[in-house]
Structure 1
């Protein structure tokens, strides 16, 4: 499966704008490619499927076969505690120090797996946390991958992907989300207030330039309560202005760029 991407910079747009448009187009095409690939593999014979999550032995075997031979790079996305995360974390302890390992977690997965993550060798390991919706995935050496289908429940499937274009698409999608994640140490340093849904909504309105009264009305809180929240957020972010608070929020992954 191949995809053709037009080069950026058309119609006189700036290099930066062209790069952003090119990256967005690439990620969108990567997402579509992943969905079509997973759908294709589901229609093929069952030996292409890694496991149903209820079949622990089969899932474990698929992960061992995929992660065991890793030589250069390993990218992992974990969405929640459970069979997938537990087995991946156990296998990561066997990975050699020469392998560059990137682990991307949701806040829930990071907090549930914190003890295990801290026990992993730190030589070439980096852990980041993302607020974005993730799909559980493992990509090994850019040559093979395992993808868990979206959603939970007993019907969730895991698909082994060996198609080069599909694996590359997975790498691109992972890299895009990774670049917007925050380092685990930064995540752990955030107060619970900064990780709340209300804080995210307030930061979004600050960035959009909404006036305090409009933002308070949108959030169904009093103007006084809204301004108190803003002051507390700025203090938590060690920001002297609302603009600086927005910059810090992007740096910490609380807001997308």
Structure 2
């Protein structure tokens, strides 16, 4: 990777260089870049030493290293959160230590928003996107902190990346994801009703494409009751169609995205 050269995007370029209208073309580039990072992480997981600007660390030194990177920021701290409670707690606790004048951006997926909604809503620049990034913190475009554990595991191992090409790739990945994210202030907080088990089951029926009669029978409710629930759910989601209701349910983390 040392032979690859990238120009690090500035903070302004990070915000403006990837317009939303280019999302389709950007998607392929992001997938290629993500594959590059995943292959790099996979390679260095098997090597105990520091190689090509990737340093591995155990859980006990993770917090100290993260704090040092964040405190040393001069221009920007860009964060991607995926819902890992331990990683989120470590990152959010240290964001308050970012020096004055440093731009902080936090990109979270619905799972992360569900873990710490109040703390995320207190931050100035947060966007929501069902992204595929691992937990990362990119500081000044020169260093990156990566969570290596798989989602849902208790593995808190991490790596610090200082290789210019690798950090540039992570910065590009983040820029693309950030450009497609929805501002948290525009992202409604689901009501308790929308988080109920009945609502989830109804949304699953809608996504499956079953007829109202079949869905009502499966849920053991009358057809009239089923349709009333559907109308109420669509109203709370501010959806004009059942398809739109499904899309918004995924955005809010009420349904898992199908692949």
Matches within 5 A, 1:29-44: 29-44=32-47
Report SS of the residue matched to 1:88: helix
Q: Is the 8 A contact 1:81 1:113 kept in 2?
A: no
Q: Are residues 1:27 and 2:30 paired?
A: yes
Q: Aligned partners of 2:180, 2:206: CA distance in 1, in Å? A: 16
Confirm or deny: 8 A CA contact 1:52 1:59 kept in the other structure. yes
The equivalent position to 1:104 in structure 2, one of 97, 104, 107, is: 107
Displacement of 1:119:
5.6
Structure 1 residues 199 and 109: CA distance shift in structure 2, 3 A: farther
> Which position in structure 2 is the counterpart of 1:52?
58
The residue correspondences of 1:1-257 to structure 2 (distance < 5 A) are: 1=1, 2=4, 19-47=22-50, 48-53=54-59, 55=60, 58-80=61-83, 82-117=85-120, 125-132=124-131, 134-149=133-148, 150-187=150-187, 189-194=189-194, 197-198=200-201, 201=204, 210=209, 212-213=211-212, 216=215, 220-221=218-219, 224=223, 226-239=226-239, 241-242=240-241, 245=244, 249=248
SS in structure 1 of the partner of residue 83 of structure 2: coil
Shift in Å at residue 244 of structure 1?
9.3
Higher relative contact order (CA 8 A, sep 6+): 2
What's the secondary structure of 1:189's corresponding residue? coil
Q: 2:243 & 2:56 partners in 1: Cα distance?
A: 47
Q: Gaps spanning 5+ residues in structure 1: where?
A: 4-15
Alignment length, in residue pairs? Answer: 231
Mapped contact 1:34–1:166 kept (Cα < 8 A): yes
- Hey, what's the Cα distance between the residues in 2 that align with 1:134 and 1:176? 11
Residue 215 of structure 1, CA deviation: 8.4
C-alpha separation between the residues in 2 aligned to 1:215 and 1:133?
35
Deviation digits for residues 101-157 of structure 1 (CA, Å, limit 9, x no counterpart) = 11123444334434544665xxxx312334455521111122211111223445442
* Aligned twin of 1:6: none
- Stretch of structure 1 that moved more, 63-72 or 175-184: 175-184
For 1:85, what is the secondary structure of its paired residue?
helix
Between stretches 182-191 and 96-105, larger displacement belongs to 182-191
Compared CA separation, residues 190 and 182, structure 1 to 2 (3 A): farther
Partners of 2:237 and 2:245 within 8 A in 1: no
Give distance in 2, aligned partners of 1:182 and 1:21.
17
Structure 1, residues 176-213: CA drift from partner, whole Å, max 9, x if none? 443444433444533244466557646756xxxx5745
**Contact conserved, 1:130 with 1:253, CA < 8 A, in 2?**
no
Does the aligned pair in 2 maintain the 1:79–1:105 contact within 8 Å? yes
C-alpha distance 214-182 of structure 1, shift in aligned 2 (>3 A): farther
The SS at the match of 1:76 is: strand
**Cα offsets for 1:60-81 (capped at 9, x unmatched):** 2221232222122211122336
